[in-house]
Amino acid sequence: MWSYEKRLQFPVNIKEPDAKLAQIIISQFGGPDGELSASMRYLSQRYTMPYKEVAGLLTDIGTEELAHMEIISAIIYQLTKNLSMEEIKESGFDKYYVDHTLGLWPQAAGGIPFNTCEFQVKGDAITDLTEDMAAEQKARSTYDNILRLVKNPDVCAPIRFLREREIVHFQRFGEGLRLVQEKLDSKNFYAFNPEFDKCKDCGDK
């Protein structure tokens, strides 16, 4: 269950459209390390996560990622609002425009459509949380790259906020992984998969 609030987690107020910038930032909507990918990764992984603290963490971070997708979408929407035909042609936005006009469609900066192969649900607590930590760092690197390309302060402010959240979520997933490991055999964390294998002395202690 979810409920919606009509506000962004971080305000977005862009004064000047910039279709070139929009084509870069769209990667954090539908690209390999984008916010859509992040939310779907965590919200899909949580069902078989055997420890309820960690399943709760996946739910809450997955939910925050939906709010981040909305911030990124608001940035793209405002950067492409009221574009003239000339601006569309000059900025190279014409290739996107021909298929989607000014509508928002999840794709990577290189034009590759959003694909669930960009994330994994392995059904193994250690594997999935390790993927989640890597995902947060990959998104952080993408935001670092965006910040090197962007000078507009209206765009930088929400991007910096999102970058910081990647670092915090990396920390939280690390703590989630530690919680999982504490419940496993300290001599061999890989003795069994707590999301699949059943044994008398293992699992949710």
Partner 1 sequence: MTEKEQMFYDIGIVDFVVVELTEFLDVHPDCAEALEYFKHYSKIRNQMVEEFSQKYFPISVNHADCSKEWTWGAAPLPWENCPCAADVLQDKSGSCETCKMREGGC
Which residues contact partner 1 (rule: CB under 8 A)? Answer: 3-15, 53-54, 56-57, 60-61, 64, 70, 73-74, 77-78, 81, 153-154, 157, 168-169, 172, 175-176, 179
User: Closer to partner 1 at the Cβ: 14 or 88?
Assistant: 14
Shortest Å, Cβ 117 to partner 1:
27
Return the number of the residue (87 or 154) whose C-beta is nearest partner 1. 154
Q: How far apart are the first and last CA of the chain?
A: 28
| Shorter beta-carbon distance to partner 1: residue 5 or 201 | 5
Task: Specify whether the CB–CB gap between 66 and 39 falls below 8 A.
Answer: yes
Residue 11 CB, shortest distance to partner 1, in Å, is 4
Residue whose tokens read 């192969």: 117
DSSP H helices in 34-190: 35-45, 52-79, 85-90, 94-100, 125-149, 153-183
Residue 1: how many CB atoms within 10 A of its CB? 2
The token duo for 12 is 């977005």
- Toward partner 1, which CB reaches closer, 90 or 175? 175
CB closer to partner 1 out of 38 and 61: 61
Which is nearest to 40 in space by CA: 102, 104, 111, 131? 131
Cβ of residue 51: shortest distance to partner 1, in angstroms?
Answer: 10
Structural tokens at position 92: 């190279």
Question: Is residue 104 exposed (0-12), middle (13-18) or buried (19+ Cβ within 10 Å)?
Answer: middle
Q: In whole angstroms, how close is the CB of 101 to partner 1 at the nearest point?
A: 17
> Angle 25-60-36 (CA atoms, 0-180°, nearest 5)?
25
Least separation in angstroms between CB 9 and partner 1: 7
Based on CB atoms, which residue is closest to partner 1, 201 or 204?
204
In the complex, what is the shortest distance from the CB of residue 144 to partner 1, in angstroms, rounded to a whole number?
22
Residue linked to tokens 């290739």: 95
